[in-house]
């Protein structure tokens, strides 16, 4: 612990941000490569390298067409999407925690993911898939609706107490779950059968379109959020303090909330409601890199991605050849972590 905290005490400079980001990028790439080669089909890295390099070594085992297809059409898109979704949920957790001034805030716990899911499912029901950005757009509307409810209850500038946060989250989730079940029950749309998986979070639907949408909104949202990374440090001390330190708090908050909702919606539209990443990753990283958002945001981005790639690999391999929705894995890790955190906060 003393090693961790001495590490986080160094002043935050651009050099340090780059250094830590590169380090974590390496972690992300390592996890991704391991994930690419984990699974039922026996494909190993040397085989792929030999196959890709036109060395023409005698008698080497080349990839069969079906192995190629597993690797590049199934596993690779899935690893990429897991990386994008994990990064998205992790940074939106960071933003909600700073703005609600409660480290237990997370898009899943607050019901913002459920709001997105309602938007997306309603979109499918209404045939919005025919429109460009129809589903992500509806997911965004759902997320904004949930954010308005949560922040309406938190009030402007006040700190959201843990008990209020949890009660709000439970109620928002209960309401949106009911809406989803309602939509399922009145529809015999085949798409909706698929969408049931969303309620638990699932990455097996990864395709090019999902990746492009999720990637675009994630990077666009992150750009807006990161621009105000320093302001997040100050906004976490409350709206009055932010105003006193020269920050147009109201305007900045609206920009950040919109960006975080967009990022959450992009993740949910692609993969459903995967929980707890936005809680676990930022919490661990604050202990390691410190609470400054200029370094926390890129770190959460990369580690969130790496974590979900890892969790999805578990989801694919644990009960192979069957597989679990990845949300089961993150909830199995995340819910006990959350309870342990909650207990510590309540006892202090």
Partner 1 sequence: MTLLQSENIGFRYDGPWVLRRVSFNIGEGSFVGILGPNGSGKSTLLKIMDGILTPREGRATMDGRDIGTMSRRDIARRAAVVPQDYTGIFTFTAREIVLMGRSPHLDPWSFEGKRDHEIVSRVMAQTDTQGFADRSLDQLSGGERQRVLIARALAQEPRVMLLDEPTAFLDIRHQVEIMNILKLLNKEEGLTVLAVTHDINLASLYCDRIILLNGGTIHAEGPPAEVMTADNIEAVYGLPVVSGSHELTGRPVIMPRME
Contact code string over 48-87 relative to partner 1, x by CB under 8 A: ----------------------------------------
Nearest to 170 by CA among 244, 93, 110: 110
Contacts with partner 1: how many residues (CB under 8 A)?
35
Only one of the segments 31-39, 123-131, 224-232, 328-336 lies at the binding site for partner 1 (rule: CB under 8 A); that segment is: 224-232
Query: Residue 230 interacts with partner 1 (CB under 8 A)?
Result: yes
Least distance from partner 1 to the Cβ atom of residue 220, Å: 16
Of 26 and 287, nearer to partner 1 (C-beta) is 287
Q: Which of 44, 69, 244, 320 binds partner 1 (CB under 8 A)?
A: 244
Query: Residue 341 interacts with partner 1 (CB under 8 A)?
Result: no
The set of residues, in sequence order, having a beta carbon less than 8 Å from that of 126 and lying 6+ positions away, is 138
Q: Which of 38, 133, 153, 294 binds partner 1 (CB under 8 A)?
A: 294
Q: Which of 286, 312, 326, 331 binds partner 1 (CB under 8 A)?
A: 286
Of 177 and 241, nearer to partner 1 (C-beta) is 241
Query: Residue 243 interacts with partner 1 (CB under 8 A)?
Result: yes
CA distance 103 to 97: 5
Touching partner 1, residues 144-173 (CB under 8 A): 159
Query: Residue 13 interacts with partner 1 (CB under 8 A)?
Result: yes
For residue 244, what are its two tokens?
Answer: 């006193």
- The DSSP string of 1-68 is -HHHHHHHTS---HHHHHHHHHHHHHHHHHHHHHHHT-SSS---HHHHHHHHSTT--TT--PPPHHHH
Of 124 and 303, nearer to partner 1 (C-beta) is 303
Give the DSSP H/E element, type plus range, for residue 344: helix 326-347
Query: Residue 106 interacts with partner 1 (CB under 8 A)?
Result: no
Taking the CA atoms of 172, 89, 80 and 320 in sequence, report the sign of the dihedral they define.
Answer: negative
C-alpha torsion angle, residues 247, 297, 88, 44 (rounded to 10): 170
**246 Rama class: left (phi>0) / alpha (psi -120 to 50) / beta:** left
Of 248 and 336, nearer to partner 1 (C-beta) is 248
Q: What angle do CA 162, 168, 170 make, to 5 degrees?
A: 100
**Maximum pairwise Cα distance, the chain:** 72
Q: Which of 46, 127, 155, 248 binds partner 1 (CB under 8 A)?
A: 248
Q: Which of 25, 34, 125, 237 binds partner 1 (CB under 8 A)?
A: 237
Query: Residue 312 interacts with partner 1 (CB under 8 A)?
Result: no
Query: Residue 238 interacts with partner 1 (CB under 8 A)?
Result: yes
DSSP single-letter state for residue 327: H
Query: Which residues here bind partner 1, judged by CB under 8 A?
Result: 9, 11-14, 98, 101-103, 159, 226-231, 233-234, 236-238, 240-241, 243-249, 286, 290-292, 294
């Amino acid at each position: 612990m003393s090693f961790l905290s001495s590490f986080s005490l160094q002043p935050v400079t651009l050099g340090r941000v780059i250094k830590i980001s590169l380090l974590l990028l390496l972690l992300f790439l390592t996890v991704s490569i391991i994930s690419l080669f984990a699974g039922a089909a026996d494909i190993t890295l040397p085989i792929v390298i030999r196959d890709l390099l036109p060395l023409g070594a005698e008698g080497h085992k080349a990839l069969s067409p079906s192995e190629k297809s597993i690797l590049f059409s199934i596993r690779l898109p899935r690893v990429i999407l897991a990386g994008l979704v994990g990064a998205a949920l992790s940074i939106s957790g960071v933003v909600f925690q700073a703005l609600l001034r409660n480290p237990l805030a997370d898009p899943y716990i607050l019901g913002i993911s459920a709001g997105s899911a309602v938007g997306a499912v309603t979109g499918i029901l209404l045939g919005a898939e025919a429109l460009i950005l129809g589903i992500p757009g509806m997911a965004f509307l759902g997320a904004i609706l949930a954010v308005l409810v949560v922040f309406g209850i938190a009030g402007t500038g006040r700190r959201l107490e843990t008990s209020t946060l949890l009660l709000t989250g439970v109620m928002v989730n209960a309401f949106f779950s009911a809406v989803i079940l309602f939509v399922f029950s009145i529809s015999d749309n085949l798409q909706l059968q698929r969408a049931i998986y969303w309620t638990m979070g699932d990455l097996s639907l990864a395709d090019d379109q999902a990746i492009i949408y999720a990637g675009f909104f994630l990077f666009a949202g992150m750009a807006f959020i990161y621009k105000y990374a320093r302001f997040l440090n100050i906004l976490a001390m409350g709206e009055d303090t932010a105003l006193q330190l020269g920050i147009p708090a109201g305007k900045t908050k609206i920009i950040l909330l919109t960006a975080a909702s967009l990022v959450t919606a992009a993740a949910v539209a692609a993969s459903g409601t995967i929980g707890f990443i936005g809680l676990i990753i930022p919490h661990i990283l604050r202990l390691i890199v410190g609470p400054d958002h200029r370094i926390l945001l890129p770190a959460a981005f990369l580690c969130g991605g790496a974590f979900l790639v890892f969790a999805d690999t578990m989801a694919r391999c644990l009960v192979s050849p069957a597989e679990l929705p990845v949300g089961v894995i993150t909830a199995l890790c995340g819910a006990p972590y959350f309870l342990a955190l909650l207990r510590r906060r309540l006892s202090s």
